Amino acid sequence: MLTTINPATEEPVGSAPDAGPDDIDAAVQAARAAFRESGWPQLAPKERARYLRALADEFEKRNDELGALVTMENGMALSVCGAFNGIGSATRYRYFAGLAESWDPEEVRDFPEAPSGPAKIKTIVRRQPAGVVGIIVPWNVPQGNVAVKLGAALAAGCTAVIKPSPETPLDSYFLAQAVTDAGIPPGVVNIVTGGDATGAALVAHPGIDMVAFTGSSAVGRKIAAACGGSLKRVTLELGGKSAGIVLEDADLDLFAATLGSCSVPYSGQSCRASTRILAPAARYDEVVDTVAGALAAMPVGDPLDPSTVIGPLVSAAQRNRVEGYIELGKGEGAKLALGGGRPKGLDRGYYVEPTVFSGVRNDMRIAREEIFGPVLVVIRYDNEEEAIAIANDSEYGLGGTVFTRDVEHGLDIARRVETGSIGVNFAGMAPNAPFGGVKSSGIGRESGPEGFEEYLTTKSIARRA
């Protein structure tokens, strides 16, 4: 049994089964049967879109309830929890419904010059669903991470088996109810709660055609290897250590106001956060003071309090990891410009003070490794070429931000950063924009038509013209 601990109170909030191989097998069999026998893949795309819109309605209707539940599971501040898991998921489901509604799975191609012989060839190029998809997600945005995969999978005609994170299994009961209330046929969506072994069993199951994974790069490598062995299609959304490049002309008030969403969303437990702040030498101290001032002003506390910005970290293990990095940073010679300890007056809960390191070099481990907490490092650069070189000198390439008053110049800098997504004076991502990483940040894309394509294969049906 998995017990979910509320990270703000350290008390249990619920439990869910730790599924074994038989449960996985039953779920995959159900998804396979639905794929082969329910008619789901053969439905007209606009019919599947109807179900997706009904699913979106369920998420919208019960946004507040879902937001509060996820907050109690993972400590994400309630003020953003609904936006990312409830309404945010609804937006994703509606986006993929829209794509399906305007999509024709068949295209006819004439080849007038026969490659050999006299016949001209007419080919129907049919886009087909990839099959049964195993969806494995982490705890930081549990429903948002599912929606971006499940929405595309259902629009394409796939069926799915979802394995949520062991830290956040409870919101998957909400999803199960929403799927039922939306009238999605039995077997199309299946959920199996469990830990890492459950995830590994799902990936290994021969009845799975494709794996869609979000999580750490370390686990992503294992999943890629397993999928390589069995030749399964895979998408991997992994870790990051993105650069927030502050150019010399940046509006530091705007930069400070953007830091919450850009660099420490969900208490810094975000893969795409810009956690390496690159500051021009001429304004280095000013940037350090701005970052420290902005983080110091963020209310830390009970994540159910609507005014809270920084809640607890998800677990004691995650707090230990983050505190380990803070000690490491001090040992590497970086200077604490803010925080470094536990917030005063919060005796229960897995809290860490918002922390800023100055005097950081890009070769330090705190600049190279993903910390996944409210810890930012500020790195000095002498000119823009060096800033781009430092941004690109990373194992990762997932997000990033450029701050400048000259937006056109910022776009030029953004074009040169090795990353899957990047914003100028802004950290948001639209549902129609592909999201994913380069280097160790992943393979494949989610969202946008590109994210939809991941769940499709082609079949060419030829005849003589």
User: Is residue 71 a contact point for ligand NAD (CB under 6 A)?
Assistant: no
User: Is residue 370 a contact point for ligand NAD (CB under 6 A)?
Assistant: yes
Q: Of the residues 167, 237, 370, 446, which is catalytic?
A: 237
Question: Is 227 among the catalytic positions?
Answer: no
Two tokens, residue 310:
């920084």
Piece of the chain touching ligand NAD by CB under 6 A; list 79-87, 169-177, 210-218, 401-409: 210-218
Whole-number Cα distances in Å, 130 to 46, 179, 369, 445? 18, 21, 34, 15
Instruction: Say how far apart CA 240 and CA 95 lie, in whole Å.
Output: 26
Mask: binding to ligand NAD, 266-295, rule CB under 6 A, as x and -? -----x------------------------
Q: Are strands 355-360 and 233-237 parallel, antiparallel or unpaired?
A: unpaired
Piece of the chain touching ligand NAD by CB under 6 A; list 27-35, 65-73, 85-93, 161-169: 161-169
Whole-number Cα distances in Å, 404 to 48, 129, 259, 412? 44, 43, 14, 11
Cα atoms in the Cβ-side hemisphere of radius 13 Å centred on 357: 29
CB of 268 to ligand NAD, least distance (A): 11
Q: Of the residues 158, 227, 262, 271, which is catalytic?
A: 271
Instruction: Say how far apart CA 3 and CA 167 lie, in whole Å.
Output: 8
Report yes or no: 349 and 384 within 8 Å, Cβ to Cβ: no
Residue 63 φ then ψ, to 5°: -55, -45
Piece of the chain touching ligand NAD by CB under 6 A; list 169-177, 208-216, 295-303, 373-381: 208-216
Q: Which amino acid is at 465?
A: A
User: Is residue 165 a contact point for ligand NAD (CB under 6 A)?
Assistant: yes
Q: Whose CB is nearest to ligand NAD?
A: 199
Which listed residue (72, 153, 200, 259) binds ligand NAD by CB under 6 A? 200
User: Is residue 238 a contact point for ligand NAD (CB under 6 A)?
Assistant: yes
Alpha-carbon 333 to chain mean position: 32
CB of 376 to ligand NAD, least distance (A): 16
Which listed residue (138, 244, 339, 373) binds ligand NAD by CB under 6 A? 138
DSSP H or E run through 286: helix 284-296
DSSP H or E run through 235: strand 233-237
Question: Is 81 among the catalytic positions?
Answer: no
Instruction: Say how far apart CA 190 and CA 31 lie, in whole Å.
Output: 7
Which listed residue (16, 19, 136, 377) binds ligand NAD by CB under 6 A? 136
Two tokens, residue 207:
């009845």
Q: Name which of 425 and 441 has its Cβ closer to ligand NAD.
A: 441
CB of 435 to ligand NAD, least distance (A): 7
Residue 45 φ then ψ, to 5°: -50, -35
DSSP H helical segments within 314-421, as ranges? 316-331, 365-368, 384-392, 407-416
Which listed residue (91, 159, 214, 401) binds ligand NAD by CB under 6 A? 214
Which listed residue (29, 38, 216, 392) binds ligand NAD by CB under 6 A? 216
Report yes or no: 396 and 412 within 8 Å, Cβ to Cβ: no
Report yes or no: 35 and 159 within 8 Å, Cβ to Cβ: yes
Q: Which amino acid is at 21?
A: P
Going by C-alpha positions, the residue among 436, 426, 431 that lies closest to residue 396 is 436
User: Is residue 239 a contact point for ligand NAD (CB under 6 A)?
Assistant: yes
Report yes or no: 452 and 95 within 8 Å, Cβ to Cβ: no
Which listed residue (14, 98, 195, 293) binds ligand NAD by CB under 6 A? 195
Piece of the chain touching ligand NAD by CB under 6 A; list 85-93, 217-225, 343-351, 453-461: 217-225
The residue count for binding ligand NAD (CB under 6 A) is: 28
Which listed residue (28, 398, 427, 456) binds ligand NAD by CB under 6 A? 398
Which listed residue (222, 330, 342, 368) binds ligand NAD by CB under 6 A? 222
Q: Name which of 139 and 357 has its Cβ closer to ligand NAD.
A: 139
Write out the catalytic residue numbers. Answer: 237, 271
**Residue ranges binding ligand NAD (CB under 6 A):** 136-140, 163, 165-166, 195-196, 199-200, 203, 214-216, 219, 222-223, 237-240, 271, 370, 372, 398, 442
